[in-house]
Amino acid sequence: MAKSDRLATRLVQAGFFITLLAAWTIESALHLINPILFPRIGDVATNFLTVITTAATLTDIWTTMSTFGTAYIIAIVLGITVGYIVSTSRLFTKTYEPMLAAFYTVPLLIFFPTFILFFGTGVKSKMALGCLAAFFPIALNTIAGFNSVDLNLRTAAMSFGASRLQMLRRVLLPGAFPIILTGLRVAFIPCFASVLAGEIIASDSGLGHQISQNAQMMETARMFAYVILVIIIAAAFNLLLSTWETRRGRATA
Amino acid sequence: MNAQTAAAIEAQGVSHAFSQATAPLAVLSDVSLTIRAGEMVSLLGPSGCGKSTLLNIIGGLLPPNAGSVRLDGQALSGIMPHKMSFVFQENALFPWNTVLENLLVALEFQGVPPAQRAPRAAAALAAVHMSEFSGFYPAQLSGGMKQRVALARGLSLQTDILLMDEPFAALDEQTRMVFGEDLSVMLAETGKTIVMVTHSLSEAVFLSDRIFVMTSRPGKIKAVVEVKKEHPRTPDFVVSEQFAAIRSELYELLHDEIRRSVESAQQIPKRDDG
């Protein structure tokens, strides 16, 4: 894409965002909607500043992000391991890949009550849900990634005497890496969403807990402040992952 | 390095078939051949005649359904990375590694101690005149350059036997000629035993001491044609009467086979250098 095109795209995107904010400002000034249902922009801004300057918010961010981080890392380890094992034989791939793909379509939130029974309303039940949500896209992309490695390259490595571990480290992982990385990025959203959903449904701490608490207490402006905070965190993380992905993609192209 | 008369590779009654949904597809039928140490031979045949399969069987990558291969008198039971190395087509270079890393990783696979890898890789790259491209990725090189790197990778492994699978397939006509001349010079110096799969008559004549002409699928050895001309060979050889005569002989041997292979496959072969 030409530089001027990219600039034009960015301008339109910024314009859309500004229009939304302007519409919200006008709505707030004219008192069109009951502020308990939809808060005024000024109130949300004030609340947002209060939220981000309160020390307790750090605890909430830490709770949510550490729960998410743990779930995500466990899912990466499990997903890549299971994906690798399944990809080692054509029979395994034929048998297990469709099963994993079928499971991926199940709305995994339905298992949350089970996790609460097992792990209680603390962070562990959210970890389990987030981990489950991230596992499937990571495992599926890992299988696709390993199977996409050119047979010529495997044959060459084999002919030079590569051991199983060398084959994995030097051929399969670098060959599959771009697709595995896509899996990690795709898995981020369901993982993060599941942790937040878990916190909103039943919890005693975290950003999701704050959102549901404030909603129940009709503190809509404060609730919106937390919503905006979550959006910022999610967008920043996603940007980080996609930047890494494109940079890796360019390096090996 | 090798006694001229010793048999380096002996294939005895090798047959192979690939399993597929309907009936097994027989690709090789009772192939026996002897390749002497230090000799350069070509396996020549129409597309799909099983010559690459035969090369993979000789190299221990594929166990044959029937028959056996002996290497220096010992039965072959799998790959022998210290005795035989493969030069694959240029698409078998690791795209995420630089030229130098492609050689280093092959040496690592072969089990060469770390301290020896860099000098051996550098020497092999120098031999194919690719030293200045050490830091380049394969995607940044032309087809001819990639093929040189693939050759250097095979050479760096310092095996007595070099197995080459259609090393010219991805090259254009002019690059082929130059690459062929360079190959003749280099291979003459190394004294290696070389087995090359090709479907190009000219390259087979230009580079080989003996040419095993194969039939259409299932492949059998139809004839063995000798090329009595010392290495290294120069472009003069290409325009000689001897070259033309051997080439015609090969063409006659292959003509019916190519037609049969085309008719049985109901397709045009990828390339039959004419």
Question: ipTM score here?
Answer: 0.83
Q: Residue A91: which residues within 8 A CB-CB, separation 6 or more?
A: none
Distance CA B133, CA A18 (A): 51
Distance CA A242, CA B73 (A): 57
* Residue B223, beta-bridge partner list: B213
Distance CA A46, CA A28 (A): 14
Per the structure block, which two tokens stand in for B188? Answer: 């003459």
Give the up-direction half-sphere exposure of residue A38: CA atoms within 13 A in the CB hemisphere. 11
Domains of chain A: 36-252 (1.10.3720.10)
How close, in Å, is residue A170 to chain B by CA atoms? 8
Q: What is the DSSP string of A60-111?
A: HHHHHHHHHHHHHHHHHHHHHHHHHHHHT-HHHHHHHHHHHHHHHTS-GGGG
For B139, name the nearest residue in chain A, comparing CA atoms only: A253
Is the Cβ pair B61, A252 closer than 8 Å? no
User: Mean pLDDT by 10-residue block, N- to C-terminus, for chain B (274 residues)?
Assistant: 64 86 83 90 86 91 90 86 87 91 95 93 89 92 88 90 85 78 80 88 90 87 88 85 90 82 59 42
Is the Cβ pair A161, B81 closer than 8 Å? yes
pTM here?
A: 0.77
* Residue of A148, A153, A154, A159 to mutate, testing the B interface (most B Cβ within 10 Å of its Cβ): A159
Which residues does chain A have with pLDDT short of 50? 253
**Which value, to the nearest 10 degrees, does the dihedral of the CA atoms of residues B116, B118, B120, B126 take?**
-160
Cα dihedral sign, B27-B29-B34-B40:
negative
Amino acid letter, A58: L
Per the structure block, which two tokens stand in for A212? Answer: 């549901």
Cα dihedral sign, B68-B73-B79-B84:
negative
Is the distance from CB of A134 to CB of A72 less than 8 angstroms? yes
Distance from first CA to last CA of chain A, Å, rounded?
A: 18
Per the structure block, which two tokens stand in for B214? Answer: 């194969």
Distance CA A41, CA A220 (A): 11
Amino acid letter, B144: G
Helices A55-87/A90-104 angle, 10° precision: 150
Tell me if residue B221 falls in helix, strand or coil.
strand
Is the Cβ pair A152, B89 closer than 8 Å? yes
Q: What is the pLDDT of residue B127?
A: 84
Distance CA B146, CA B171 (A): 10
Distance CA B22, CA A125 (A): 52
How close, in Å, is residue B160 to chain A by CA atoms? 14
Of A152, A158, A163, the CB nearest to B91: A152
Q: What are phi and psi of B40, to 5 degrees?
A: -115, 115
Distance CA A205, CA A66 (A): 12
Chain B partners of A159 at a C-beta cutoff of 8 Å? 59, 61, 79, 81, 85-86, 88
A105 reaches B (C-beta below 8 A): no
Buried b (16+ CB within 10 A) or exposed e, B163-174: bbbbbbbbbeee
Q: What is the pLDDT of residue B269?
A: 45
Distance CA B163, CA B165 (A): 7
Is the Cβ pair A174, B94 closer than 8 Å? yes
Strand order in the sheet with B74-75: B25-36, B7-18, B66-71, B74-75
Q: What is the pLDDT of residue A206?
A: 92
What's the whole-number average pLDDT of chain A?
A: 91
Is the distance from CB of B196 to CB of B43 less than 8 angstroms? yes
Q: How many helices (H) and strands (E) does chain A have?
A: 11, 0
How close, in Å, is residue A106 to chain B by CA atoms? 34
Peptide bond before residue B218 is cis, with ω within 30 degrees of 0: yes
Is the Cβ pair A159, B79 closer than 8 Å? yes
> Which of A46, A100, A70 has the alpha carbon at shortest distance from A194?
A70
E strands in chain B: 7-18, 25-36, 40-44, 66-71, 74-75, 84-87, 161-165, 193-198, 210-214, 221-226
> Which of A91, A97, A103, A189 has the alpha carbon at shortest distance from A141?
A97
Is the Cβ pair A155, B92 closer than 8 Å? yes
Distance CA B86, CA A190 (A): 46
CB contact residues (below 8 A), chain B span 134-153, against chain A? 139
Pairing of strands B40-44, B84-87: unpaired
Pairing of strands B40-44, B193-198: parallel
Q: What is the pLDDT of residue B268?
A: 44
> Which of B31, B44, B25, B49 has the alpha carbon at shortest distance from B262?
B49
